[in-house]
Amino acid sequence: MQETTANQVAGNATSSFTEHLQRDRPDLLPYHRAMPAAAAAATPLQVPHATTIVAMSYGGGVLMAGDRRATMGNVIASRHIEKVFPADRYSVLGIAGTAGIAIDLTRLFQVELEHYEKIEGTLLSLDGKANRLGAMIRGNLPMALQGLAVVPLFAGFDTTAGVGRLFSYDVTGGRYEEREHHTVGSGSVFARGALKKLWRPNLAEAEAVSVAVESLYDAADDDSATGGPDPVRQLWPVVYTVNRDGARRIPESELAAVAGRIIEARSAERREA
Amino acid sequence: MTQQFYVSPEQLMKDRADFARKGIARGRSVVVISCQDGIALVAENPSPSLHKIGEIYDKIAFAAVGKYNEFESLRQAGVRYADVRGYSYDREDVTARGLASVYAQSLGAVFTAEQKPFEVELAVAEVGPTPELDHLYRLTFDGSIADEHGFIVMGGQAERVSAVIAEGWRPSLRFAGAVRLATRGLTSGPDPAAEQGEAGGTLPAKAVEVAVLDRQSETSRGFRRAFRRLNDSDITALLAEED
């Protein structure tokens, strides 16, 4: 009898916010919703999509950047959307795919990490965080199969090992560690090409910011779903760096200067493609 | 069939309350002080890992005395309540008042319906933009709830500690002053060793657990989460600081 009580207590003890929701409030989860199969087959849903995210390692940490455009079919749904978020003090998260679900998943992931920290009194390891995110993406698989996929990119500083690390995912929640740089989203092929030429090991932080903005510029040049720097509206990519001191958002003024230099250099060259 | 002994409800409740009070009186005290920099939470606690003070949410902290397993389960329930509420509505919709009333209901339910009441006393503190907007709630084992102003003292020697704190408390205290006042209160025991020391003796940094809710956490540290646990060297520095 006593053993069953002990087992019950142990079984109910969870530091995971998602598990708690699954048990007590499944209606609050972004996924776990049965969708009528026929509806999906009839017309593909027209919902905003978020596109290109780039991430790279640099000397002392990792960097992640995202453009500001969301598209719905051939229409620009938003010019202000943010696709890179701090997950906790030592990690950031970028999202590509169905914007609505991705933003909800991000919110859930942020609460998940904070919840663990408060219950356990310590931070989750970076591998632990990466695995939790993988499990959440896997939870979204039924929706992904119906066209509402979310593909994240995750970067953080491993405080135990003292290095910045970078993780990519597929829609089944598969987790892959990337060594140098990685991109996701519809403009990713173009950004990746740029990164291959611009990135080198042990970049300084300021150089890494410039490389990220330039690779997003190249993605925006060729992919209609990716927005470039917008000097008219004063809109610049969202860029975060994560190092030993934690995650830091690069201020707008710095990004304006970086984007300005890139636009200037490209105008001076007057090249077509 | 044997007939059950009749016990009047008054007697039953009185026995339960006495039982819970005895349990709480065995424990060491915790002090929660609202001051100019925010709210300081100070506990006499020699364990570096089993905390009596914890973070609940952005601006809300928790402090408890009594049985560890009982208040720890209440703390975790509080974190779950706050996180679910913040996730399903918005972060600003999580308030100490809501949390305190949930605690009051669960403590009240346990007190009347369960085999034995919880031997705990809790404080829920929420830091506001000014000291007047701070909220301090004290919850007792039977589910009673009190809205306190300035400071809360709970635990075994609450009355004596409270007398010392009441004498020294001013709303203009900084963190250093508040933590020093709290440790002075906690050491004001009948214990002759403590009496010998000047102003009621001092506690070594290792024997106290200190956490603060920063009033200006957004501007000073860039965090929405105001809770900060101080380590031994921080505490030593605070205790050594001049007024």
Which of B79, B209, B221 should be substituted to probe chain A, the one whose Cβ sees the most A Cβ atoms within 10 Å?
B79
- The whole-angstrom separation of Cα B123 and Cα A268 is 65
Q: Confidence band (pLDDT; 50, 70, 90) for A183?
A: very high
| CB-CB contact of B186 with B207 (8 Å) | no
* N-terminal to C-terminal alpha carbon distance within chain A: 75
> What are the chain A neighbours of B49 within 8 Å (beta carbons)?
121
| CB-CB contact of A233 with A79 (8 Å) | yes
Closest by Cβ to B88, choosing from A20, A28, A118: A28
Eight-state DSSP code of residue A32: -
| SS3 letters across chain A | CHHHHHHHHHHHCCCCHHHHHHHHCHHHCCCCCCCCHHHHHHCCCCCCEECCEEEEEECCEEEEEECCCEEECCEEEECCCCCEEEEECCEEEEEEEEHHHHHHHHHHHHHHHHHHHHHHCCCCCHHHHHHHHHHHHHHCHHHHHCCCCEEEEEEEEECCCCEEEEEEECCCCCEEEECCEEEECCCHHHHHHHHHHHCCCCCCHHHHHHHHHHHHHHHHHHCCCCCCCECCCCECCEEEEEECCEEEECCHHHHHHHHHHHHHHHHHHCCCC
Q: How far is B184 from chain A (nearest CA, A)?
A: 28
Say yes or no: ipTM exceeds 0.95: no
Query: In this complex, do A119 and B79 lie within 8 Å of one another by their Cβ atoms?
Result: yes
B214-to-A227, B128, B137 alpha-carbon distances in Å: 39, 9, 18
Q: Pull the structure tokens for residue A99.
A: 């914007």
Domain ranges, ordered by start, for chain A: 47-272
> What are the chain A neighbours of B76 within 8 Å (beta carbons)?
119
B 130-169 near A (Cβ less than 8 A) = none
Q: Identify the CATH number of the domain defined by range A47-272.
A: 3.60.20.10
Of the residues A51, A52, A106, A226, which is catalytic?
A51
| pLDDT, tens digit, 9 for 90 and up, residues A111-169 | 999 999 999 999 999 999 999 999 999 999 998 888 889 999 999 999 999 999 999 99
| pLDDT, tens digit, 9 for 90 and up, residues B151-173 | 999 988 888 999 999 999 999 99
Query: In this complex, do A25 and B83 lie within 8 Å of one another by their Cβ atoms?
Result: no
Q: Pull the structure tokens for residue B106.
A: 């669960």
| pLDDT at B26 (0 to 100) | 87
Known catalytic residue: A51? yes
Average pLDDT over residues A22-51: 74
> What are the chain B neighbours of A119 within 8 Å (beta carbons)?
76, 79
| pLDDT, tens digit, 9 for 90 and up, residues B72-112 | 999 999 999 999 999 999 999 999 999 999 999 999 999 99
Mean pLDDT lowest among A41-50, A235-244, B49-58:
A41-50
Closest by Cβ to A25, choosing from B51, B84, B86: B84
Identify each DSSP E strand in chain A by its residue range: 49-50, 53-58, 61-66, 70-72, 75-78, 84-88, 91-98, 150-158, 163-169, 175-178, 181-184, 238-243, 246-249
Domains in chain B with CATH codes: 27-240 (3.60.20.10)
| pLDDT, tens digit, 9 for 90 and up, residues A86-127 | 999 999 999 999 999 999 999 999 999 999 999 999 999 999
| pLDDT, tens digit, 9 for 90 and up, residues A1-10 | 556 777 777 7
Residues of A with CB under 8 A from a CB of B: 17, 20-21, 24-25, 28, 107-108, 111, 114-115, 118-119, 121
Query: In this complex, do A114 and B54 lie within 8 Å of one another by their Cβ atoms?
Result: no
Q: How far is A29 from chain B (nearest CA, A)?
A: 10
**Phi/psi at B204 (5° precision):** -70, 150
